[in-house]
Amino acid sequence: MPPFVPTLLVEWRKRIEVEFVIKANDALCDVMPKPRRLKKRFGSAKSGVLIATQICDATVAPQNIRFPQDTSLLNEARLKLEAMLDWFCSRYALVKPRIYQKVAHKEYLAFAKSKKPSKERIRNAIRKQLGYVRRNLHYLDAFMQDGYAPDKKFANNIITIHVLYAQQKYMYENDVHQVANRIVSISQPYVRPIVRGKVSKQTEFGAKLHLSVDERGFARIEHLSFDAYNEGALLQNALEAYKYRNHCYPKRVLIDQIYRTQDNIGFCKKNEIRISGPKLGRPSSNEETNRQIAREIAKDKSDRIEIERYFSVAKHRNGMGLISRKRKDTSLTTIALSVLVTNIFGSFQSAVSDEQEQKTKILKSR
């Protein structure tokens, strides 16, 4: 007998909740040493003391799913329903209904092989697949109404396919491509499309992560969810969390344009927090004042790169670039662990570089 089976690792991963990882990350950030590499960026030019700073931004941790297309989703739903009907007929010795399985498969292959299908051909393929899915759902519901119980492994897929069919039918009938809580993966129905508006990726599919980085270079998770949300509405909560940890608000907050709402600007002005970006109103008539403001804006943009660097390290080196977990809870835990590991390795690398720098100074003095 082996000491443990591979599924035991999955059971242990389920026990590590995302809330526990977030609390552990916050506790480590409070005790880890300050990285010296940030003294030039966030430190005062005269005293060298770190300026109380908070950087906020959001990113998406992409989920490892196939790019969702209406035709491929409906075809996958049809195949799963056919497998369920085969199981019912085999388990309860029922007569298999006519579902035109070969015809449906042949029609989908003919569509999938076309490189650039027209809009009319796409709508025609969706219409046909909707018909096959509707017929299969009708037979499946009839079996269950007659008292035949499905296997427990089919329960989640049956509910998901019902919702998927309703969404696809609504979009087809109204000729639209958006619907609330749109399902983009049958096996992972919790994944939502997150519109990012970037050049390389207009839409990403995964959990949205709102992160804050303080003047010590450590990141904390402010909000993590698979649902799309506006990160601008979470700025004040992040600033309040900073005050709770440090007993004061930061001197400045570095953000992008989406955070610069009138509500957030008024909150920062009330609490004497300098918010990055141009000031509202007309420019000053004093040229020296305008140059000083321009220098501050340029420095804020340069300092805000720290959170972009953090996202890059977390995605390319610490597992946030592509989440391969199949469960919602373990996927969120994996993202939180990526943030935790990035903080630990950042502090460790800073300590190693500080030690090497001290050794170099000692060798030069000799």
CA dihedral 107, 112, 117, 123 (to 10 degrees): 50
CA distance 131 to 91: 26
Q: Are residues 35 and 52 in the same domain?
A: yes
Task: Please report the pLDDT score of residue 355 as a whole number.
Answer: 54
Q: Are residues 303 and 279 in the same domain?
A: yes
User: Would you place residue 46 in the very low, low, confident or very high pLDDT band (cuts 50, 70, 90)?
Assistant: low
Torsion sign across C-alpha atoms 129, 134, 140, 143: negative
Is the pLDDT reported for residue 350 higher than 60? no
Q: Count Cβ atoms below 10 Å from residue 25 Cβ, excluding itself.
A: 22
Q: Beta strands 203-214 and 53-62: pairing type?
A: antiparallel
Mean pLDDT of 172-181: 93
Distance linking the first and last C-alpha atoms of the chain: 62
CA-to-CA dists, residue 264 to 126, 199, 227, 238, 302, angstroms: 45, 27, 22, 11, 22
CA distance 74 to 133: 7
CA distance 253 to 313: 22
Q: Which of 131, 158, 174 is the last residue of a domain?
A: 174
Amino acid sitting at position 236: Q
Residue 197 domain flag? no
pLDDT digits (tens, 9 = 90+) for 52-66: 899 999 999 999 999
Q: Are residues 51 and 81 in the same domain?
A: no
Residue 21 domain flag? yes
Is the pLDDT reported for residue 9 higher than 70? yes
CB 333 within 8 A of CB 16: yes
Is the pLDDT reported for residue 354 higher than 60? no
CA distance 191 to 61: 11
Indicate the average pLDDT of the chain: 88
Task: Please report the pLDDT score of residue 213 as a whole number.
Answer: 93
CB 285 within 8 A of CB 89: no
Q: Count Cβ atoms below 10 Å from residue 189 Cβ, excluding itself.
A: 19
Domain tally, the chain = 2
User: Would you place residue 43 in the very low, low, confident or very high pLDDT band (cuts 50, 70, 90)?
Assistant: low
Residue 96 domain flag? yes
Model confidence pTM above 0.95: no
Q: Which residue has the higher pLDDT, 215 or 106?
A: 106
CA 256 from chain centre, in angstroms, equals: 18
Q: Are residues 74 and 48 in the same domain?
A: no
Task: Please report the pLDDT score of residue 49 as a whole number.
Answer: 66
pLDDT digits (tens, 9 = 90+) for 135-158: 999 999 999 999 999 999 999 999
Q: Are residues 215 and 303 in the same domain?
A: yes
Mean pLDDT of 324-336: 93
User: Would you place residue 15 in the very low, low, confident or very high pLDDT band (cuts 50, 70, 90)?
Assistant: confident
Task: Please report the pLDDT score of residue 217 as a whole number.
Answer: 85
User: Would you place residue 211 in the very low, low, confident or very high pLDDT band (cuts 50, 70, 90)?
Assistant: very high
Residue 77 domain flag? yes
CATH code of the domain in which 338 resides: 3.30.420.10
The string of DSSP letters for 11-64 reads HHHHHS-HHHHHHHHHHHHHHSPPPGGGHHHHB-TTT-PBP-EEEEEEEEEEB-
Range of the domain at 163: 70-174
Residue position matching structure tokens 């109380």: 52
